[in-house]
Structures are given as C-alpha cells and as structure tokens.
Chains A and B, each alone.
Chain A
C-alpha cells in the first residue's frame, strides 16, 4: 500500500499569503495519479486537482498542483478567506489511499 505523508500538519497564514502544502509518497505514484481535495468543517471534500496538476472544473487559478514520482505540492498563490480548510492528497495509481491532511488556519 502506498502511504502518503502530508506536511506540515497545520499551516498558519494570513489572507493574501502564499501556501505550499507537501504530499510525499512511500513509493512512486504511477502516471502521477495524484489528486487534491479541500474539506471545510461539516462538508464533504471537494476535488481541486487531478493528475497532479489539472484543475477541476470551476476551481480558481490561484490553486495549482505540481510534482511527480514521490513528491507533490499544492500551492495556493494568495489565500482568500474561503481557502482556510483542510486539504487532502490522494493517490490512485495503486488502489487508492489518502494522506492524513493539512489544516490551513488563519494566523
């Protein structure tokens, strides 16, 4: 099973700042089959990125994904108030597993 480790566990930032979230896999993720989701309190997750870097429909361009192999990054270029949430990475190259999440909180 591919284990995904997200860091940091919590990111404290102010609106307007840049956020960089890391997702590291225990082995290479085939074909960069990696997705990112945003989850707000009391809501279901929302797909942001698939294929490591393709934004889902309706996702603002301040969200971008990058990386390959075992190291992936979600970047939010300028945090908006509605971006404070928990973010999960998920690999789907070998079955499916999720990371443990990164909470982006207001500083």
Chain B
C-alpha cells in the first residue's frame, strides 16, 4: 500500500534552516510528484510548492519562493523540503502529499512533521 513517512519533530531557532524528509513506498516513486503543504497551529492549509519526482522540476508558491527548496532522491524514494531563514510564524505542521503529474490534487499524505521555531 502507498505510504509516505515523514521525519520527526524539529525545534529550531529563528534564522535557522530545517530540512524535512518524506520517504515513499508502495508505488513507483518516479511516476508521481510531490507537493508540500503546511498548517499553522489551529489554522488552515497552505500550499508551498511542487516537485516532479520524474525530472526534478519545481514550482514554488510566491510566498515561499525565496526561502524554500524542494528536492527528491530517487535512489531512496525520498522527497525533501528545506525552509531557510525561519521565523516564529513558520511554526507549523509540514505535510508532503503525493500528486499525479501536476494534476493539482493530493491523493496520499504523509503523517506530518511539526516544526517549532522559538528562541
């Protein structure tokens, strides 16, 4: 069965960077893409960007364009999201989500990774 397993909780100081991983199993990794979505405490969902696991092409949401980098490693079937220059309002749960090509909707989600930014 399809599974997306994310890395564990992170606590970072303002100005630092964080890198979250998302290991996929149960399907052909390169046949799909990934989006990353975050959810601040008690808030709604916010799309951050997309990466093709086939060719590494990326599309970033305007609000994150300067601070986020998405990558994939086909050898380990893992997607990564790195967010730089962290601020307190980056405190959120970060989800990876599987997507067919650039269809735009997300059929499987990781369990989420809590990133807390605090001095």
Contact = CB atoms under 8 A, between A and B. Distances in A.
The answer to whether A and B assemble together is yes
A44 B111 contact: yes
Chain A interface, DSSP helix/strand/loop, else mixed: loop
Contact of A47 (B46, B47, B105): B105
Interface in B77-112: 95, 103-107, 109-112
A33 B104 contact: yes
B61 interface: yes
Given A44-B95, A96-B35, A88 B105 contact: no
Contacts, number: 47
Nearest to B102: A92
Task: Give the interface size class of chain A.
Answer: 20 to 34
B44 interface: yes
Interface residues of B, number: 16
Nearest to B61: A95
Contacts of A95: 47, 61
A96 B50 CA distance: 10
Given A97-B47, A98-B45, A92 B105 contact: yes
Contacts of B105: 33, 35, 47, 50, 90, 92
A47 B37 CA distance: 14
A98 B47 contact: yes
Contacts of B111: 44
Nearest to A95: B61
A96 B44 contact: no
Nearest to B93: A44
Given A98-B44, A99-B44, A92 B104 contact: yes
Interface of A: 33, 35, 37, 44-47, 50, 56-57, 88, 90, 92-93, 95-101
